[in-house]
Amino acid sequence: MIGKTVCTICGENRYDSLGKPRKSAFYFPLIPRLKMQYADPIRAKELKYRANYIPNSQKISDIYDGKLYKELIEEDDCWVLMMINNNLSPEIRVKRKNLLVTAVIPGPNQPKNFNSFLRPVINELKLLEEGILCFDGDSKQEFKLKSHVIFWCGDIPAITKLMCITGHNSYMGCRMCDLKGIRDLTNNHIYYPLKPPRDYHKSPSYNIRNLPLRNHNKYDKLSQEWQNLQTDAAKKKFAQDTGIFFYS
């Protein structure tokens, strides 16, 4: 959307007659707040929780015992993006004062191209992945702070936007697997039976122990296929068949 004066989704002008944006989202940079927290002696001690944590191979007491983390180290209605600092201990990390609000996307309508609002967040996360210079108020020394996203979470609409999927009321709406839904004509909703009704022959049966799961490689492949689509009709058909809809 950078440099464009007309919205690629609705076709409306992005700026008013005075050249001001018709609507703006709010972004709160992450890096300055991380630096300020580490510069505070008390908070700097609290942030050493992860560094001092002893992993437990017998049970999961915190995210650092999980497989994913171990692999890693080897105005109206609005949308709020928050970060949880897992360097803090579980007892305090999710308290309101410790949550890092990084973006507020105003309503009343939900964002169409959600990922376009994430651009400044992603830019900062790239810098944090490489490492930034910080001052430790506890040890009184400078150090290189690196930060990585362990996982994203949210309600169904938010995850739908984040993952570029068509949503829970579509035929391929599951974000975890490729189950094909069936429309219930009595209430006009989609549901996902493992075994279709007797008089319905358009959907296969599924083994709950061997579901056709989605994975990163599939998403990459579908993304490449999307880039080759030339018409809106082809993109709509693609979304119906795959449950995934990328924005240009």
> Does residue 176 sit in the same domain as residue 83?
no
**Confidence at residue 200, expressed as pLDDT on a 0 to 100 scale:** 72
Candidates 35, 30, 99, 89; CA nearest to 63 is 89
**Confidence at residue 75, expressed as pLDDT on a 0 to 100 scale:** 47
> Does residue 133 sit in the same domain as residue 52?
yes
> Does residue 223 sit in the same domain as residue 142?
no
- CA 41 vs CA 106, 139, 142, 153: distances in Å: 36, 8, 13, 31
**46 inside domain:** yes
> Does residue 145 sit in the same domain as residue 166?
no
Instruction: Give Cα 162 distance to the centre of its chain.
Output: 4
> Does residue 130 sit in the same domain as residue 52?
yes
Q: If DSSP states are collapsed to H, E and C, what string results for the chain? A: CCCCCECCCCCCECECCCCCECCCCEECCCHHHHHHHHHCHHHHHHCCHHHHCCCCCCCCCCHHHCHHHHHHHCCCCEEEEEECCCCCCHHHHCCHHHCEEEEEEECCCCCCCHHHHCHHHHHHHHHHHHCEEEEECCCCEEEEECCCCCCCCCCHHHHHHHHCECCCCCCCCCCCECCCCEEECCCCEEECCCCCCCCCCCCCCCCCCCCCECCHHHHHHHHHHHHCCCCHHHHHHHHHHHCECCCC
Which pTM was predicted?
A: 0.58
**CB-count burial class (<10 Å; 0-12, 13-18, 19+) for 179:** buried
Each residue's pLDDT, cut to its tens digit, for the chain (248 residues) gives 566 788 877 788 888 888 888 878 888 888 888 888 888 888 888 888 888 888 877 888 887 888 767 766 664 567 888 889 999 998 998 888 888 888 878 777 777 778 788 888 889 999 999 999 999 998 999 999 998 888 888 877 788 888 888 877 778 878 888 888 888 777 778 888 888 887 776 778 888 889 888 888 888 888 888 878 888 888 888 887 888 877 65
> Does residue 169 sit in the same domain as residue 60?
no
**Confidence at residue 1, expressed as pLDDT on a 0 to 100 scale:** 57
Q: Helix (H, G, I), strand (E, B), or coil: what is residue 54?
A: coil
**Confidence at residue 35, expressed as pLDDT on a 0 to 100 scale:** 87
How many separate domains does the chain show?
2
Euclidean distance between CA atoms 241 and 162, whole angstroms: 19
**Confidence at residue 57, expressed as pLDDT on a 0 to 100 scale:** 78
> Does residue 76 sit in the same domain as residue 183?
no
Eight-state DSSP code of residue 133: E
**12 inside domain:** no
Taking a C-beta distance cutoff of 8 angstroms, is the pair 43, 138 a contact?
no
**Confidence at residue 127, expressed as pLDDT on a 0 to 100 scale:** 92
Q: Which domain holds residue 183?
A: 159-242
> Does residue 104 sit in the same domain as residue 169?
no
Letter for the amino acid at 185?
L
